[in-house]
Amino acid sequence: MVNKELVGGVRTVCDVVETALGPFGANKLLIQADGTVTATASSTELLDRLDVDDPAVTLLDSAAAGFDEQYGDGTGSVVTLAGALLRRADRLAERGLHPTAIERGYRDGLAIALDAVDHTARPLSSVDPADVARTALTGTRNPQVRRSVSTQVAAAVADAGDDASERIRVVSRTGGAAAETNLVSGVVLERGPVLESMARSRSETGIALLSSTVDMPHAGSQLGRVSRRVEFEADSFADREALAEHESGTFTEQLRAAVDAGCGVVITERAINERVQSELAAAGIVGINRVDADELRRLARATDATVVPTLAQVTAETLGRGSVDVNRKAGRDMTFVTSDAGDSVRTLFCRAPDPRTAGAFERSVEAAVASTAAAVGEGRVVPGGGAAEATASWRVAQEARSLPGREQLAADAFGAALMAVPRALAATAGLDAGRAAVQLRVARSEGRDSVGIDALAGTTTDVLGDLPIVEPVSLKRNVLTTATDLAVQLIRIDQRLDATDLGDEEETEPTADAPDPGPA
């Protein structure tokens, strides 16, 4: 039997996520233990901020987080479908089906559904990659913004090719409107120079990328293997003064050598010590510190630079080439690095009026990038708006009748559960979910597999019309497979065990005086 108590929390979370699906998903107020209140309609953020210790919910959270990290979109659909499968499993268990029989039926239903998804796929050439981006761009309902941003996402993905995840990054900043979102050919750093007196712009200059702190070298310090250690003790003021002059002179030489090599910008993963900041500024160098390692790699790729440990290793060969411009956005400096020296690296710089909107819009644009990249990589799409799920549900209902034994009931339940996604989209769009589901089934009976839910228009329609609603085939297949695997894993839980309680009883060694038990 399915243990309802153990997976009860999971069903509750799934029900909450279901009402947040689609562009009109309801916002949730998350109140954390420290009093922080967050309003969000993002399934990913909702699951990420849940503070629970229920092991089954933790399993759901981990699966959803892993899916989002790997595919970038579709997390809400995974959780919604998993919840629907669990509800159907409860009813099957009440009718006497064992979890093993339920799993077999679900696996049979999944195979039929995946085949249906493949058969309903269209070539990407029948639509535009921007249509895929616009479908995933649920963070705004403004048609002009959706059109503009989706076009920029498609352009960025087309330029990046198969390496879109590495070469495209989304950055958001509060202040301004979403319509101000623009595609930057380069890298955008969410910080400015370490000193206000440093230059705000350097055109076509050498860019040094460092992995360690920029500071004056200490006497006796060296890189690589240390074959001999020398200790220097400065006991007098004169000795300390001489040591400081030596260190300062060494740094000045390193700085001069870097400038002579063409260095105009120093960007480091660590800090730039206060005592050398003014020297960098006096030399005309723009210094930017505490840049994330991933951003440093993107900068190296864009500028054709080599990341080196310290300023001493900077040469003309390790320097990248590019232009640096520092602009103040919403009261904070942001640095734009553009270059034609290396690979084409793009940044989508998003704007939004408040932090909640900015975060939601950024996640939406990231999902649009991931979905568009997947569609371009595979070259196929399926009708969106729950149309693919409705077609798969119809096919499973037709073919489940031919399955043997009680698995037929489970496969039929699997097909019915697939309608949870179009039902949720219809409900959040303000439609009658039951009536919408009937309309989708009637369309399938008439051979129209592209009829789905257009949430923005508030109707059921052919989603391959003037403004196509489409999703990548690979994403849809992975949503169905992941949701099924997760539901089956939860269905097969029959008992909760605390691992710390399993080894309490110590095994006793037989004593020398103990009688020999003899042969068995």
Q: Please spell the DSSP secondary structure of 359-385, one letter per residue.
A: HHHHHHHHHHHHHHHHHHHH-EEEETT
Rg, Å, the chain Cα set: 30
Residue 423 pLDDT grade (very low, low, confident, very high; cuts 50, 70, 90): very high
Q: Token pair 């269905």 is at which residue? A: 491
* Dist. CA 491–CA 252, nearest whole Å: 67
**321 shares its domain with 390:** no
**192 shares its domain with 275:** yes
At residue 203, the pLDDT reads 94
At residue 261, the pLDDT reads 96
Mean pLDDT value of segment 17-31: 79
CA atoms within 13 A on the CB side of 121: 20
Domain assignment present for residue 473? The answer is: yes
Q: Which structural domain, as residue segments, surrounds residue 442?
A: 8-123+382-491
Residue 226 pLDDT grade (very low, low, confident, very high; cuts 50, 70, 90): very low
**191 shares its domain with 340:** yes
Domain assignment present for residue 282? The answer is: yes
To the nearest whole number, what is the mean pLDDT of the chain? Answer: 86
**387 shares its domain with 315:** no
- Asked if 365 and 66 touch (Cβ cutoff 8 Å), the reply is no
Instruction: State which of 315, 344, 373 marks the end of a domain.
Output: 344
Looking at beta carbons, which pairs linking 98-103 to residues 24 or more positions away fall under 8 Å? 98/1, 99/1, 99/2, 99/491, 99/492, 99/494, 101/405, 101/406, 101/407, 101/410, 102/2, 102/410, 102/413, 102/488, 102/491, 103/410, 103/488, 103/491, 103/492
Q: Which is more confidently placed, 452 or 506? A: 452
Torsion of CA 282, 286, 289, 292, to 10 degrees: -170
- Asked if 131 and 160 touch (Cβ cutoff 8 Å), the reply is no
**421 shares its domain with 306:** no
Domain assignment present for residue 376? The answer is: no
| Closest to 350 measured CA to CA, from 368, 360, 332, 362 | 362
Considering its fold, how many domains does the chain have in total? 2
Instruction: State which of 296, 314, 344 marks the end of a domain.
Output: 344
- Helices 387-399 and 99-120 meet at what angle, rounded to 10? 120
Please state which of the ranges 22-31, 143-152, 198-207, 398-407 shows the lowest mean pLDDT: 22-31
Mean pLDDT value of segment 175-193: 86
At residue 162, the pLDDT reads 72
* Dist. CA 437–CA 420, nearest whole Å: 9
Please calculate the CA angle 7-11-17 and round it to the nearest 5 degrees.
140
**484 shares its domain with 392:** yes
Domain assignment present for residue 142? The answer is: no
In the predicted structure, residue 66 carries a pLDDT above the cut 60 = yes
Specify the DSSP element, H or E, that contains 288. strand 286-288
Q: What percentage of the chain exceeds 90 in pLDDT?
A: 55
Mean pLDDT value of segment 138-152: 89
Mean pLDDT value of segment 259-264: 96
At residue 501, the pLDDT reads 57
Supply 520's token pair.
Answer: 């068995």
**198 shares its domain with 332:** yes
The one-letter amino acid at 282: A
Mean pLDDT value of segment 230-254: 68
Please state which of the ranges 200-204, 249-253, 396-400 shows the lowest mean pLDDT: 249-253
Mean pLDDT value of segment 421-449: 94
Residue 482 pLDDT grade (very low, low, confident, very high; cuts 50, 70, 90): very high
> What is residue 492's DSSP assignment?
T
User: pTM of the full predicted structure?
Assistant: 0.80
**202 shares its domain with 73:** no
- For 150-162, the pLDDT digits (tens) are 999 999 999 887 7
Mean pLDDT value of segment 398-405: 87
Determine the 3-state secondary structure of 386 from DSSP: coil
Choose from 58-62, 68-72, 116-120 the range with maximum mean pLDDT: 116-120
CATH at 108: 1.10.560.10
3-state helix/strand/coil string of 180-232: HCEEEECEEECCCCCCCCCCCEEEEEEEEEECCCECCCCCCCCCCCCCCCCCC
* Dist. CA 237–CA 519, nearest whole Å: 86
Mean pLDDT value of segment 192-204: 94
In the predicted structure, residue 479 carries a pLDDT above the cut 70 = yes
* Dist. CA 293–CA 426, nearest whole Å: 43
* Dist. CA 155–CA 160, nearest whole Å: 9
Q: Which is more confidently placed, 173 or 76? A: 76
